[in-house]
Amino acid sequence: MRVLGIESSCDDTAAAVYDSSSGLLSNVVSSQVPVHSLYGGVVPELASREHIRSVVPIIERALAEAGSGRKDIDGVAVTAGPGLIGSLLVGLCFAKSLAYSWGKPLYGADHLEAHIFSIFLETEVEFPFLALLVSGGHTSLFRVSGWEEVSFLGGTLDDAAGEAFDKAAKLLGLGYPGGAAIDRIAQEGDPGRFAFPRAWLAPGSADFSFSGLKTSLRVFLSTPEGKERRVEDIAASFQEAVVDVLVGKTLQAAKREGVPRVVLAGGVSANTRLRRRAGEDGSREGIAVYLPSRSLCTDNAAMVALLGERRLSAGRASGPELNAYAASRFSR
């Protein structure tokens, strides 16, 4: 089965083609960074308008790169949620019309599930595993026991990890989007130079909290010491506080659940320090850590096409009532 995947949940318009036997045939992402960087963050209305402009050329490119036309495509998968509702609706309405006019089945993918299974584009992972999804909107831990069995173990009580990185970068004057900028500059800094707080929460809790850390950085930057210090050291110390909690809590949860495999997913899992620490700490604890390639960590449609291929193959097509949703469907 060959599936066209479409993703427009936030500020990237993406399309990809995945084939059951040949794997990923194309993966095209159009970034809107230049549009939003002027404002220091994603402006939802502008994002929707950019999606309208890009959706057709991006899909045409993905089909052309995959050497595929209407007759080669067996199904269409599209991100239905969660995300920015205006952005989601552009991709969803287009996908629905395309599937209807081509007479192909449609699958409405959950963006979080698509991230969680993105590792399967490169590696087969044995079930069950724990998935840490760290992105601009989510910091969540899941137990994944099969393609249809994803259960939520915990999530952030306030800011997501990516949001914490982006807000810290703004405070440090590193521009937008901030995660990759902190990652880069922190490589020149000392992660042990400043002791920012780590919110471990109650023992055994799989929840996260990053708002206190962000406040602590803001307060520190207003002190004479904070004003004088090297931004590289501050970025590295801030990043270390985030990474300590992400890695520590994930490995604790894996041990509690008796699951010796962990998968990382989402934009923040592109972070160099997080990738290194997860691998090192995991091997010390006897837990295998799986990391998607960096380009598959951030938003893409390859993961949507793959999830669509699995679900459509299992006979789980969506009906014409499929609609977009803004909030996560996962809760305890």
Contact residues toward ligand KG4 (CB under 6 A) are: 10, 135-137, 162, 165-166, 177-180, 183, 266-268, 270-271, 298-299
CA–CA separation, 44 and 60 (whole Å): 24
Which three-class secondary structure state does DSSP give residue 44? helix
Interaction partner, residue 108 (Zn ion, ligand KG4, none; CB < 5-8 Å by kind): none
Q: Say which amino acid occupies 186.
A: A
Nearer residue to Zn ion within complex by CB, 133 or 245: 133
Q: How far is the CB of 188 from Zn ion (least distance, A)?
A: 28
Nearer residue to ligand KG4 within complex by CB, 142 or 165: 165
Closest alpha carbon to 152 in 106, 180, 112, 181: 112
Nearer residue to ligand KG4 within complex by CB, 156 or 298: 298
**Residue 139 CB partners (closer than 8 Å, separation 6+):** 133, 155, 156, 160, 161, 162, 208, 210, 246, 268
Orientation of helix 231-257 relative to helix 211-222, angle to 10°: 160
| Count of C-beta atoms within a 10 Å radius of residue 244 | 16
Task: Give the Å distances, CA to CA, from 138 to 66, 300, 324.
Answer: 31, 16, 18
Strand partners, 290: 263
Interaction partner, residue 270 (Zn ion, ligand KG4, none; CB < 5-8 Å by kind): ligand KG4
Q: How far is the CB of 163 from ligand KG4 (least distance, A)?
A: 6
Total count of residues recorded for the chain: 332
Q: How far is the CB of 263 from Zn ion (least distance, A)?
A: 15
Interaction partner, residue 300 (Zn ion, ligand KG4, none; CB < 5-8 Å by kind): none
Interaction partner, residue 178 (Zn ion, ligand KG4, none; CB < 5-8 Å by kind): ligand KG4
CA–CA separation, 248 and 87 (whole Å): 34
Interaction partner, residue 177 (Zn ion, ligand KG4, none; CB < 5-8 Å by kind): ligand KG4
Q: Which residues lie near Zn ion (CB under 5 A)?
A: 135, 299
Q: How far is the CB of 272 from Zn ion (least distance, A)?
A: 19
Q: How far is the CB of 228 from Zn ion (least distance, A)?
A: 37
CA–CA separation, 240 and 275 (whole Å): 12
Q: Say which amino acid occupies 183.
A: D
Nearer residue to ligand KG4 within complex by CB, 110 or 207: 110
Nearer residue to ligand KG4 within complex by CB, 47 or 63: 47
Sequence-ordered alpha helix ranges (H) in 172-291: 178-186, 211-222, 224-228, 231-257, 272-285
Stated as kind and residue range, the H or E segment containing 64 is helix 44-65
Q: How far is the CB of 167 from Zn ion (least distance, A)?
A: 18
Interaction partner, residue 121 (ligand KG4, Zn ion, none; CB < 5-8 Å by kind): none
Nearer residue to ligand KG4 within complex by CB, 86 or 177: 177
Q: How far is the CB of 268 from ligand KG4 (least distance, A)?
A: 4
CA–CA separation, 148 and 158 (whole Å): 28
Nearer residue to ligand KG4 within complex by CB, 206 or 270: 270
